[in-house]
Chains A and B, each alone.
Chain A
Amino acid sequence: MKRSILLLIALTFLLISNVYAQEDSVRLDSAVKTRAKTIKLKEVGIVEKGKPVSRTSISVTLSEKQLQQTKGSGLAETIKEIPGVSILKTGSTISKPVIEGMHGNRILILNNEIRLEAQQWGLEHAPEIDPFLAKRIHVIKGAESVRYGAEAIGGVIIVEPPALPTSGGISGGLNLIGASNGRSGTSSAMLNGGLKSLPGFGWRMQGTLKRSGNVHSAEYYLGNTGVRELNYSAAAGYHTGKASYEVYYSRFGTELGILYSAHVGTKEDIDARISIGRPLENYGFAYNITAPRQKVVHDLFKAKAHYDFSNQLSLAITYGFQKNQRKEYDFRRGDREALPITDLVLNTHTLDLVFEKQETSGSKRLYGFNGIVQVNNNIPGTLANTFIPNYDGVTGGVFVIQRWVKDDFEFEGGLRYDFKLFDAVGYRYASDGEQYYGGQSRFHNVTGSFGTLWKIDEQWQLGSNLGLAWRAPTANELFSNGLHHGAGLYEIGDPNIKTEQGYKWVNSLKYYEGKLNFTLDAYAQYINNYIYSEPDKTFKQTVSGTYPTFRYKQTDASFLGADFSGTYRFSELLSYKLNAALIRARDLDNRKYLPYIPSDRVGQSIRLDFQLKNFGDTWLQAGHSFVRRQTRYELESDYAVPPGAYHHFQLSGGTAMKIGNQELSFNLSVDNLFNTLYKEYMNRYRYYTHDMGRNITIRLAYKF
């Protein structure tokens, strides 16, 4: 209650400050009416900043045009075309992005500048982000913990929304997407506006509605794989000559079914299911979602103020509040299927202060502070043991980043110190009695990074980034001791687990010439105290069944790999693209392979770009991808050998039409063109089912 009142007061203050900001600007506007045009130009300069990614970062950006071609997919599916990015799936409804072999708490996702804080530890917990929000998505492959904070061990995903308008008029867009597999329909609309009477003020509203039913593999339906999603957001901002203010709110809400066939209770069940490798039951098509299912609501509130003290000095203050509510429902006795078996609420407050000092030479220095306060609570009433404890987490970090710019070189170096306090209390009811567990842990860490960009000549460019990043162990790694319902595993944490430190060196060689363009990224990563869970080859008999036991352990691990992306343009009309990624990961202490590392993959496509009469840019593309069987695995740490290699073919095409200021675009894609029956190693339900069959998607976009 006390917290709610304080929040209300704070929100009221924010609104008041915004109102005052508007009044202030009205006065300013009338006083300097004659200079209005000059001021406006300057404002545009502030709003339309470049990439929110340093040039010395090894990163890939998906443009608005590229995003248009994958609209309707989740975040992970949207970025999987980037070489080095793959996905970890749990059935067909849950996908997590993987950057160069890292996922979950080893990659950081920034949603409109706020780090996504949800229950990322779960392999079956997908990121709570609506890709329709994004104008651009950037994927940083370096371990850039200094700038972005802990957990950026494997990389950073930045979801960048469009800038708010600063002048009058209304613009917007509508997207309609239909897909054959799952008979899914998605609609998303965005409306932007400003006020002529109040230059500098802008607003945006956006919403997405999605529904899809049971997905079909090449030969059969996957029971209970429907998804419902409703997301919306609103933003308002005000820019004066020197200052800018922004408030933003978004909600991501999803309900998704989890494949029936993956529900197994005993070792006998697991063995039996694996030996068959596909469901024996025949499920038809249905939109209906029943247990096991997940219902997740993620609210994000952001308030940001940016102030330029002079042309050189500026300060940005960003506050974020996130509320993540996760309810998981499982098969249960009686009417208890309506009760969640896991019911968690995670509240996260983040506060970021960045003081920027620009030098005339283009060099700059950043001083920053990041604070995170997190409270996780299990909501009583599940009538089941909780899997993770209630906890408080307080993190504070300070950093300094210096950037030097020379004619052919750019350097960036940074240093950061973080402190984290983690205080947990959990309760567990076991057959041998009740037990309270938890405790307080403190973590200190110093991290650093160094990046350089060498513009060798007009065509060649070499970037190198060396980063040390860290993460504190998560609640489940420390304290879990029970059945992880979503995973069907009995997991046992270790309260003595230490922080994980990753050293990542990424190099990127870029070649740009009219006809031939390519990028080759090569990386080496060493992770000290790599946290992983491994079956201890015993089965835990609980009152509800028998489950394989997994224990959290630490080792030192190495990751080596390379990603390639190249295009050759034969003519204005015809081009060829080749993408490839390979990764080699090792558990150094035990001299073993690590599980769930993507296998080698290569993708190629041929594309025709032309102008069609009465239409704008038109394209046709045929693609092929080949995924090798993962041969680097340890049989004893998995239930089954990795599935075989597979080929995929894809066809797509699109066109656009301009009618005055309005644009209508259309595109159609066919994935898994030959309806191949296949399994992907990175799908955790590959034991029980095959992956998705042919999928035809139609996308219509209207912009005005």
Chain B
Amino acid sequence: MNKLRNYSLVVLVGLIAITFNACKKDPKPEVPEEEIGKAELTFLEVEREAHGDHYHYNPIAEAKSTIITFDSKGLPPVGTHLHLIEGKTYKLTLRSFDFANREMQQEFLEKHDIHQAFILGAPDGILTYAYADRDKENKKINVGVTGYLTVDEHTATGFTFRYVLRHLNPGVKASITAANWNDVNFSAKFAGANDLDLKFELHPVHEGEHEH
């Protein structure tokens, strides 16, 4: 029995030794990499051609693109104000960058079953948007990395144009159609989180209207 007690003591000392040897490690600097950093929206004028129940969009050779940049908080440079012209159509493309400045809009297309953009902020009847994304098999998909924005009417003053790229919960995308592109109730109807929420001031104007 003495022997047993001696062994118990050894065990006890051993356990105390382990106990006091354990210690925390200094944290390894972990750079959050999944987060989305900067983004760009490019507006390039195209020609819209009616083709029965749908449109064809043809490039215009001399068209110049306008690029709006956004910081990681989705904000453009101070004073950003874009004029788009009534009756014209623009190819709207997204470029998005991750924390390390790597382009990542392709990922939204690859995971098109959980991503869709909404174009918000315009008063009714001012803008029309058509999704123009394609998957790997060149099949039409509605994501909003590429789309066509037509200015139907001008407005007296500018408004805050909002491009929201939604990261949808599983199963939600099935209930969204192309007609939901400007659904103001997207938060309530289409559960998920916003990967991007880009805002800037847009002013649709008459052709030839002066800059201000």
Complexed CA–CA distance, A333 and B194 (Å):
12
A269-B193 in contact given A303-B11, A382-B30 (Cβ < 8 Å): yes
Question: Residue A35 at the B interface, CB < 8 A?
Answer: no
Residue of A nearest to B171 (CB): A281
The smallest C-beta distance from A32 to any residue of chain B, in angstroms, reads 13
Q: Is B44 an interface residue (CB 8 A)?
A: no
A residues 9-34 touching B (CB-CB < 8 Å): 9-10, 13-14, 16-17, 20-21, 24
Which residue of chain A has the shortest Cβ distance to B173 in the bound complex?
Answer: A281
Indicate if the CB atoms of B170 and A260 lie closer than 8 Å. yes
Contact B104 A260, beta carbon cutoff 8 Å: no
Interface range on chain B (Cβ under 8 Å from partner): 35 or more
CB distance from A227 to the nearest CB of B (A): 18
A260 adjacent to B187 (CB under 8 Å): no
Does any Cβ of B come within 8 Å of A6's Cβ? yes
A371 on the B face (CB < 8 A): yes
- Inter-chain CA distance A423–B172, complex, in Å, is 45
Residues in chain A near residue B37, CB distance under 8 A = 543
B61 CB–A CB distance under 8 Å: no
Contact A223/B170 with A2-B21, A280-B189, A429-B29 known, Cβ cut-off 8 Å: yes
- Residue of B35, B175, B187 near A271 (CB, 8 A) is B187
Tell me, yes or no, whether B33 is within 8 Å of chain A by CB: yes
**Is residue B113 within 8 Å, beta carbon to beta carbon, of the partner chain?**
no
By beta carbon, the residue of chain A nearest B36 is: A543
A interface footprint on B170-210 (CB within 8 Å = 1, 0 otherwise): 11100100000000010111011111010000000000000
| B101 at the binding interface (Cβ < 8 Å) | no
Do B191 and A6 touch across chains, with their CB atoms under 8 A apart?
no
Task: Tell me the chain A residues, 362-390 only, with Cβ under 8 Å from chain B.
Answer: 371, 373, 375-378, 380-386, 389-390
- B26-47 vs A, CB cutoff 8 Å, 1 = contact: the mask equals 1111111111110000000000
Write the chain B residue with the least CB distance to A482: B32
B73 interface neighbour in A276, A427, A429, A541, Cβ under 8 Å: A541
Report chain A residues within 8 Å CB of B25. Answer: 377, 390
A303 to B1, CA, bound (A): 18
Q: Do A334 and B34 touch (CB < 8 A)?
A: yes
Does any Cβ of A come within 8 Å of B67's Cβ? no
Contact B32 A377 (CB under 8 A): no
Query: From B167, which residue of chain A is reached at the shortest CB distance?
Result: A331
Interface status of B24 (Cβ within 8 A of chain A): yes
B4 and A20: CB pair below 8 A? yes
B-side interface residues toward A, CB under 8 Å? 1, 3-5, 7-8, 10-12, 14-37, 72-73, 98-99, 104, 107, 111, 167, 169-172, 175, 185, 187-189, 191-195, 197
Q: Give A contacts to B, CB under 8 Å.
A: 2-3, 6-7, 9-10, 13-14, 16-17, 20-21, 24, 223-224, 240, 243, 260-261, 263-266, 268-269, 271-273, 275-276, 279-283, 290, 303, 305, 307, 317, 319, 331-334, 336, 347, 349, 351, 371, 373, 375-378, 380-386, 389-392, 423-427, 429, 431, 434, 436, 541-545
A-B CB proximity, top 7 nearest? A265-B193, A272-B188, A543-B35, A272-B187, A17-B7, A380-B28, A10-B14
